[in-house]
Amino acid sequence: MPPQSVVKDSILTTLANSTATVALAKVPQVTLLFWIIKIAATTLGETGGDTVSMSMGLGYLFGTLLFVAALVVFVVLQIKSSRFHPALYWATIIASTTAGTTLADFADRSLGIGYPGGSILLATGLAISLLAWRASLGTISVQSVATPKAEVFYWITITFSQTLGTALGDWVADLPGVGYLGGAMVFAIPLIILAAQYFWTNVSRVALFWAAFILTRPLGATVGDFLDKPLDKGGLDLSRPLATLVLAAFIAACLVLFGQRASKQAH
């Protein structure tokens, strides 16, 4: 019979290995709740960004500087945190999507790049970010987001996708005969197809995640524009600040009522 100390050491080793196997990433599990909150957050990004730049009359440049500063602060807090915090994570997502809204509007309208030029430029930046992430760490799976380096790549990629979504959503909605509701359908249909592929095919889950993550942003952008744009432009002309507060309350309620767990880190 082995000595008690040997048995104790064996048990501790087994527990340590078990803990390492289920180590948690610093991002939430990708569930239906994740996508519901993501779409609400991206819609909030549109109404919130427009509230500052348009309703408050502070302009796209000020709005961009304000939200980028908030994004930097939240990303630093995310990286310094030792574990996943749902409120902090979604605050960072919201900061990235509001920054994306004002940044895209500033580039498209104030700098005169236009929707097509802005979309192509941002799509290129997004592709470079994903390729650099894959080349550096060997994976772009969100389950690997548990180290500072992975987190930096993650938030850079997300910011590119959020900004691209605004430009792309505005571009599609501005096409003749499309409008905001039509634009929402343009992005909703591919999302439904991606969901079908998730359930009924063996397509890469990583590829499906990023495709869905990118498409939910222009969907949120067009829905946000539909809510707050004037009636003569195809919107409902709702109060931007009020819509922003309602969306923020909805997200908070989802987190309080249902909670979120961290994603298990891939090994």
Please give the DSSP secondary-structure letter assigned to residue 147. Answer: S
More confident residue, 173 or 9: 173
The SS3 call for residue 104 is helix
Round to whole Å and give the CA distance between 258 and 133.
32
Q: Does residue 12 sit within a domain?
A: no
Smallest CA-to-CA distance from 58 within 44, 48, 70 is with: 48
pLDDT value for 263: 82
Q: Report pLDDT for 232.
A: 81
Query: Percentage of the chain surpassing pLDDT 90?
Result: 61
In a domain, 18, yes or no: no
Helix, strand, coil proportions of the chain in percent (round to 5)? 80, 5, 20
Beta strands, E only, the chain:
24-28, 262-264
In a domain, 261, yes or no: no
Q: How confident is the model at residue 16 (pLDDT cuts 50, 70, 90)?
A: very low
Alpha-carbon dihedral sign for residues 248, 252, 254, 255? positive
What percent of the chain has a predicted confidence (pLDDT) above 70? 90
Domain assignment of residue 37, given as a range: 28-255
Stronger pLDDT, 260 or 204, i.e. the higher one:
204
Using alpha carbons only, what angle is made at residue 189 by residues 183 and 191, rounded to the nearest 5 degrees?
Answer: 105
265 domain residue, yes or no: no
Separation of alpha carbons 172 and 251, rounded Å: 27
Assess if residue 250 is contained within a domain.
yes
The answer to whether residue 38 sits within a structural domain is yes
Question: What does the pLDDT look like over 23-32, one tens digit per residue?
Answer: 578 899 999 9
| Domains of the chain: total | 1
What's the rounded mean pLDDT across residues 140-152?
91
Residues ≥6 apart with Cβ < 8 Å to 2: none
pLDDT tens-place string over residues 198-225 = 999 999 999 999 999 999 999 999 999 8
| Alpha carbon distances (Å) from 77 to 45, 70, 89, 262 | 20, 11, 9, 16
Closest by CA position to 27, among listed 160, 209, 252: 209
Q: Work out whether strand 24-28 and strand 262-264 pair parallel, antiparallel, or are unpaired.
A: antiparallel
Q: Is 238 helix (H, G, I), strand (E, B) or coil?
A: coil
Residue 127 binned pLDDT confidence (cut-offs 50, 70, 90) = very high
Q: Is the pLDDT of residue 17 over 60?
A: no
| pLDDT at 6 exceeding the cut of 50 | no
Q: Give the pLDDT band of residue 14 (cuts 50, 70, 90).
A: very low
Contact (CB, 8 A) for 101 and 221: yes
Whole-angstrom distance, CA of residue 26 vs CA of residue 144: 9
Give the pLDDT band (50/70/90) at residue 144: confident
140 part of a folded domain? yes
- Decide if 59 is inside a domain: yes
Instruction: State the average pLDDT for the chain.
Output: 87
